[in-house]
Amino acid sequence: MKSEIICIGTELLMGQTLNTNVQFLSQKLAELGMDCYYQSVVGDNSQRLNDALSLALSRSELIITTGGLGPTFDDMTKNIMSEISGIPLVYHQDSLDKILKSYTDRNLPMTDNNKKQALVIEGAHVFKNETGSAPGFAFKCHHSLVVVLPGPPKEMQPMVNHEVVPYLEQFMDARLVSDYLYLFGIGESSVEASLSDEILYSSNPSVAPYASVDHVVLRVTSKAKTLEEAQALNKPMVALLSDQFTNHLYSINEPNMAQVLVDHLIERSITIATAESLTGGKISDLITSVDGSSKVFKFGACTYDSAFKESLLGVSHDEIAKNTPVTAKVATQMALGIQKYAQTDIGIGITGVAGPTTYRDDKPVGLVYIAVAIKDDVTVKEYHLSRNLKNERQSIKKLAALHALKDTLDRL
Amino acid sequence: MKSEIICIGTELLMGQTLNTNVQFLSQKLAELGMDCYYQSVVGDNSQRLNDALSLALSRSELIITTGGLGPTFDDMTKNIMSEISGIPLVYHQDSLDKILKSYTDRNLPMTDNNKKQALVIEGAHVFKNETGSAPGFAFKCHHSLVVVLPGPPKEMQPMVNHEVVPYLEQFMDARLVSDYLYLFGIGESSVEASLSDEILYSSNPSVAPYASVDHVVLRVTSKAKTLEEAQALNKPMVALLSDQFTNHLYSINEPNMAQVLVDHLIERSITIATAESLTGGKISDLITSVDGSSKVFKFGACTYDSAFKESLLGVSHDEIAKNTPVTAKVATQMALGIQKYAQTDIGIGITGVAGPTTYRDDKPVGLVYIAVAIKDDVTVKEYHLSRNLKNERQSIKKLAALHALKDTLDRL
């Protein structure tokens, strides 16, 4: 099924909003095995919206739109759909009741523009909105299937996961399955260079490396009649690649390294505490973003002022005075200090220079020491994360935090 | 100048990569006063890339492309450009030298595909790449100006800021200036509902509200011959709106609330420390992501295990035992405790339930207490951040952290 995605909203054309919807929807289409050939954005302008939809109807079998279903005057998606298809809009009673109730529940008067959100194309298949007001819907327009979704990701995403995907599955005669190998600490071109031509040019499964800020992903994709057959086709290639990249691979199909770490820790009842300097709480934030992390994460100290490295963690005053707080020894003492203070199995200590100002000539931006203490055994590593980029403070913090998670994972 | 953006890369169509480039470029075009009517994405496929460029050439005066300039076999942007324009590709000597040098510097052998990155359209205006290998360039193709940029944001963004924007400015005869009012703790529809029709329908300046995850933005935009005239047109409207939304406004033109807070603190030499429970280090991470924050941020404690609330912060054991760690009193004692421990002017204490599991029936997901202690004066607020959404843990953490920053700002 040849598909395309149209995102509606002037805020996207103006760059005011980052378009995360198109990524989410592309992933879903890829998983369904639908080829997505076009992605486009159109503003809240009836003529251009009309043009964009007409063009899409001329070339795609499935068109997914997001946005323009809200209560305000510039939300016009449904009116244009009605114009183009010649099918009138009608109120979807359940949605209307829900909107009314949300106002009476809060003792608020409902403005008329909010009623508009309950309109759908007559005869459409309606997708209910678990987390907002405007329902989505699907209808046949000329020769295409058009799926109309709300713009806010928190409304659109659950709607797609719970209703749109099962609805679309009925139209598929082949299934595509992708497995993702998540690698850290290696670049995309090194990954590609070390792949044999046989792998690079294989077609079912196909293999493709992608780089993101946090990691390199190797995507392995197979197409088959059933989900099970496609999964089986993927298996030997995933095993082969896992073996080749074993030093860098941190997970198959789970992009979140903190999730991988917390799962390991919970499984083996290992507790952890962190002492952070340059990362400023980023490591504890990543860990505690994982559901269930409170079972294993006990305490995090962000000793931004070095005085607390000494008083709370027992880092040697002489070491800091003589050699600055950015040394392997300080990281080691931080790891041991926090492990002792919080009485946990693991202590992570991290110190470095986040920039943008160089701390001292011999302590350049991006110099980071990460120590991981497990029982009495401490390892410490030196990293040079600076890549001569501007405004790299946040990237260095994030990258340093991820290295800390990876170093910890490698010790388990 | 009617413009459009084409992003090239199958990883975008597959949803593997989030397209941040298009937002960045849209913002730059908006600032330049160029109308961006189309944004589209095309895969690494020569036929469709050819089609997309041909369509763009037929309808836009300025076309900006990103992506497909890398060393690997699927990077084909420049070859297609050469085909369509009939102009050959030539090596850009400076770029070639730089690529060679980067390999000899690292004592690495250079593979032939890396040379390819130094190719540009003959006679093009070249934009150098400060942070990577492939240069960008601009050239006249048929009746349009085509700007060709690398895909990685860390290469594309500095190139645009330092070279492409000044280059494009010469083609503009009118300038657009936008001011952004950043509001927190109020919804988009409330903002719009409280705007008079006069404001909503005004055209120069125009006013538009946008919602993002973190805030609502009111964009005020004026168009004039010069930058100065456009700025002057904006001024009275910005003042009017600042007045109307004074309780929610946290900044004009600075979206990052932590930056606003740190600027305030540095300006007045006020030190700060944080004691976090549900936010798990998110507040200290936000604060320390701001350059210069080490001048004012001293210490952060992430007391995830309640034992540390008692031992380090002096929170009453009885209060926790009787009433759980999620109470206004605990937040207050955390704020005072961390202020005392770190000897700072301000202490922030925050406790709550991040979910997804409800802590106790009377402590639902999203219940958060935030206390801000300045000297002996503590304020504490209760928030209900849950909005009945799934997988809201990270959103609640972030939203709670932002409320803590806003509560602190409000006290200054």
Q: pLDDT tens digits, residue range B143-163?
A: 999 999 999 998 999 999 999
A–B interface: beta-carbon pairs under 8 A: 237
State the smallest CA–CA distance between residue A339 and chain B in angstroms: 13
Using the Cβ of B26 and the Cβ atoms of chain A, whether some distance falls under 8 Å is answered with yes
Between A141 and B386, name the one with better pLDDT: A141
Q: Chain B residue with minimal CA distance to A274?
A: B302
* pLDDT over 70 (residue A390): no
* Chain B residues near residue A301 by CB distance under 8 angstroms: 299-302
Candidate from B71, B299, B357 with C-beta closest to A302: B299
Choose from A304, A313, A397 for mutation: most chain B CBs within 10 A: A304
Assess whether pLDDT exceeds 90 at residue A214.
Answer: no
Ramachandran angles phi, psi of B388, nearest 5°: 60, 35
- Kindly identify which residue of chain B lies nearest to residue A289, measuring between CA atoms: B394
**CB contact A25 to B (< 8 Å):** yes
Q: Which two tokens stand for residue A47?
A: 């003529």
Nearest alpha-carbon partner for A284 in B285, B306, B311: B285
pLDDT tens, position by position, A306-354 = 999 999 999 999 999 999 999 999 999 999 999 999 999 999 999 999 8
| Pairing outcome for strands B272-276 and B297-302 | parallel
What one-letter code names the amino acid at B395? S
- Which residues of A fall within a CB distance of 8 Å from B70? 189
The two beta strands, A125-127 and B367-374, are: unpaired
CA–CA separation, B24 vs B64, rounded Å? 12
Integer Cα distance of B4 and B12 in angstroms: 17
Percent of chain B's residues with pLDDT above 90: 65
Can you give the pLDDT at residue B249? 96
pLDDT at A119: 94
Mean pLDDT of B162-171: 91
- A327 touches B at CB < 8 Å: no
Q: Does B262 touch chain A (CB under 8 A)?
A: no
Q: What one-letter code names the amino acid at A29? A: L
Interface probe for A, chosen from B181, B182, B289 (most Cβ of A below 10 Å), is B289
Q: Is the pLDDT of residue A159 over 60?
A: yes
- What is the tens place of the pLDDT at every residue in B219-233? 899 988 888 999 999
Q: Is A288 on the interface with B (CB under 8 A)?
A: yes
CB contact, 8 Å: B203 with chain A?
no
A120 Cβ partners below 8 Å, 6+ apart?
A: A78, A89, A90, A91, A92, A95, A126, A135, A137
pLDDT score of A389: 55
Nearest to A389 among B10, B40, B154 (CB): B154
Taking only the tens place, the pLDDT of each residue in B62-98 is 999 999 998 877 788 999 999 999 999 999 999 999 8
Extract the tokens encoding B332. 């207050």
Report whether A312 contacts A303 (CB < 8 A). Answer: yes
Residue A315's Cβ-side half-sphere holds a number of Cα atoms within 13 Å equal to 33
Is the pLDDT assigned to residue A4 strictly greater than 80? Answer: yes
> Across B29-158, where does the E strand assignment appear?
35-42, 62-66, 89-91, 119-121, 125-127, 136-141, 144-149
Mean pLDDT of chain A: 91
Nearest CA in chain A to B391: A291
pLDDT score for A369: 97
Q: What's the DSSP call for residue A74? A: T
CA distance B279 to B394: 9
Cβ within 8 Å, pair B210-A70: no
B12, B26, B324, B340: which to substitute to probe chain A, counting the most A Cβ within 10 Å?
B26
As a whole number, mean pLDDT of residues A155-173 equals 90
Instruction: Give the model's confidence band at B215: pLDDT under 50 very low, under 70 low, under 90 confident, else very high.
Output: confident
| The residue to which tokens 């989410």 are assigned | A24
Query: pLDDT at residue A29 above 60?
Result: yes
CA distances (Å), origin B181, targets A34, A326, A333, B152, B218? 41, 40, 46, 30, 5
A254: which 2 tokens?
């789970």
- Residue in chain B closest to A357 (alpha carbons) equals B291
Return the structure tokens found at A26. 């592309």
CA nearest to A176 within chain B = B14
Residue in A with minimal Cα distance to B387: A131
Euclidean distance between CA atoms A382 and B277, whole angstroms: 31
Share of residues in chain B with pLDDT > 70 (%): 98
pLDDT band at residue A213, thresholds of 50, 70 and 90? Answer: low
Give CA separation, A257 vs A372, A374, A403, in Å. 16, 19, 10
Chain B CB within 8 Å of residue A302 CB: yes
CB distance from B72 to chain A under 8 Å?
A: yes
Tell me, yes or no, if B176 comes closer than 8 A to chain A by beta carbon.
no
A343 and chain B in contact, CB less than 8 A? no
The string over B37-69, giving b where at least 16 C-beta atoms fall within 10 Å of a residue's C-beta and e elsewhere, is bbbbbbbbbeeebbebbebbbeebebbbbbbbb
Exposed / middle / buried, residue B198 (Cβ in 10 Å: 0-12, 13-18, 19+): exposed
Which of B200, B286, B288 is most worth mutating to test chain A (most A CB atoms within 10 A of its CB)?
B288
The whole-number average pLDDT for the span A150-161 is 92
Preferred mutation among A11, A309, A396 to probe B, highest tally of B CBs within 10 A: A11
pLDDT band at A387 (very low <50, low <70, confident <90, very high): low
DSSP result, A225-264: SSHHHHHHHHHHHHHHHHHHTTTTEEEES---HHHHHHHH
Does the pLDDT of residue A106 top 90, yes or no? no
Least confident of A161-165, A363-367, B170-174, B263-267: B170-174
DSSP state, residue B109:
P
Judged by CB atoms closer than 8 Å, whether chains meet at A26 and B39 is answered as no
Q: Which residue in B288, B279, B253 sits closest to B183, CA to CA?
A: B253
pLDDT band at A288 (very low <50, low <70, confident <90, very high): very high
| pLDDT: which is higher, B166 or A261 | A261
Say what the pLDDT of residue B201 is: 84
Q: What domains are defined for chain A?
A: 2-169 (3.40.980.10), 175-252 (3.30.70.2860), 257-411 (3.90.950.20)
- Strands (E) across B253-361 are located at 272-276, 297-302, 346-352
Q: Which of residues 218-237 of A touch B (CB under 8 A)?
A: 219
What residue spans of A274-347 are helical by DSSP H?
Answer: 282-288, 306-311, 317-323, 328-342
How far apart, in Å, do the first and last CA atoms of chain A sit? Answer: 45
Average pLDDT (A230-247) is 96
Instruction: Pull the structure tokens for residue A214.
Output: 């946090």
Predicted local confidence at residue A149, as pLDDT: 97
pLDDT of residue B390: 53
Q: Is a pLDDT exceeding 90 seen at residue A300?
A: yes
A101-131: buried (b, 16+ CB within 10 Å) or exposed (e) per residue? eeeeeeeeeeeeebbbbbbbbeebbbbebbb
Which of A22, A211, A393 lies nearest to residue B289, judging by beta carbons? A393
Q: Reply yes or no on whether the pLDDT at B243 is more than 70.
A: yes
- Asked if B37's CB is within 8 angstroms of A15's CB, the reply is no
| pLDDT at position B244 | 96
Under a CB-based contact definition with an 8 Å cutoff, are residues B186 and B248 in contact?
A: yes
Which own/partner contact pairs does A209-215 have at CB distance under 8 Å and 24+ positions apart?
A210/B11, A210/B16, A210/B17, A211/A187, A211/B152, A212/B16, A212/B17, A212/B18, A213/A395, A213/A398, A214/A184, A214/A255, A214/A257, A214/A398, A214/A402, A215/A182, A215/A183, A215/A184, A215/A250, A215/A255, A215/A257
Please tell me the predicted confidence (pLDDT) of residue A75.
Answer: 86
Lowest mean pLDDT among A135-149, A299-313, B47-61: B47-61
Distance of residue A11 Cα from the nearest chain B Cα, in angstroms:
7
> Looking at A45-54, A131-140, A166-175, B113-122, which range is the least confident one?
A166-175
Q: Read off the pLDDT of residues B353-382 as tens digits, 9 standing for 90 and up.
A: 988 877 777 888 889 999 999 988 999 999
Cα distance between residue A13 and residue A42, in whole Å? 7
Note whether B316 and B328 are within 8 A (CB).
no
Tell me, what's the pLDDT at B200? 83
Task: Inform me whether the pLDDT recorded for B193 exceeds 60.
Answer: yes
Candidates A192, A253, A285, A391: best to mutate against B (most CBs of B within 10 A) is A285
Q: Please, what is the average pLDDT of chain B? A: 91
Structure-token match 């420049």, residue found = B78
C-alpha span between B380 and B388 (Å, rounded): 24
| Confidence at residue B213, expressed as pLDDT on a 0 to 100 scale | 66
The one-letter code for the residue type at B115 is K
Residue A218 pairs with which residues in a beta bridge? A181, A209
Q: Is it the case that residue A12 has pLDDT exceeding 70?
A: yes
Confidence at residue A140, expressed as pLDDT on a 0 to 100 scale: 96
ipTM: 0.76
Helix (H, G, I), strand (E, B) or coil at B279: coil
Which helix (H) or strand (E) segment holds residue B320: the answer is helix B317-323
**Cis, peptide link before residue B356, omega less than 30° from 0:** yes
Query: Smallest CA–CA separation between A284 and chain B, in Å?
Result: 6
Q: Which of A16, A22, A29 sits opposite B19 (nearest CB)?
A: A22
A275 within 8 A of A347, measured Cβ to Cβ: yes
How far apart CA B282 and CA B398 sit, in angstroms, is: 7
Q: Give the strand pairing for A119-121 and A89-91.
A: antiparallel
For residue B35, the model assigns a pLDDT of 85
Contact B10 A208 (CB under 8 A): yes
Q: Residue A155, CB half-sphere, CA atoms under 13 Å: how many?
A: 19
- For CA atoms A182, A187, A188, A194, give the dihedral sign: negative
Helix (H) or strand (E) segment spanning residue B342: helix B328-342
Instruction: Classify residue B16 by its DSSP letter.
Output: S
**Range name among A147-151, A268-272, B47-51, B280-284 with the lowest pLDDT average:** B47-51
User: What average pLDDT does range A386-391 have in this prediction?
Assistant: 56
**Contact flag B389-A280 (C-beta cutoff 8 Å):** no
| Chain B residues closer than 8 Å to A73 by CB | 200
pLDDT in tens, B291-330: 999 999 999 999 999 999 999 999 999 999 999 999 999 9
At which residue do the structure tokens 């809009």 appear? Answer: A89
More confident residue, A395 or B269: B269
**Spatial distance between the Cα atoms of B196 and B203, rounded to a whole number of angstroms:** 14
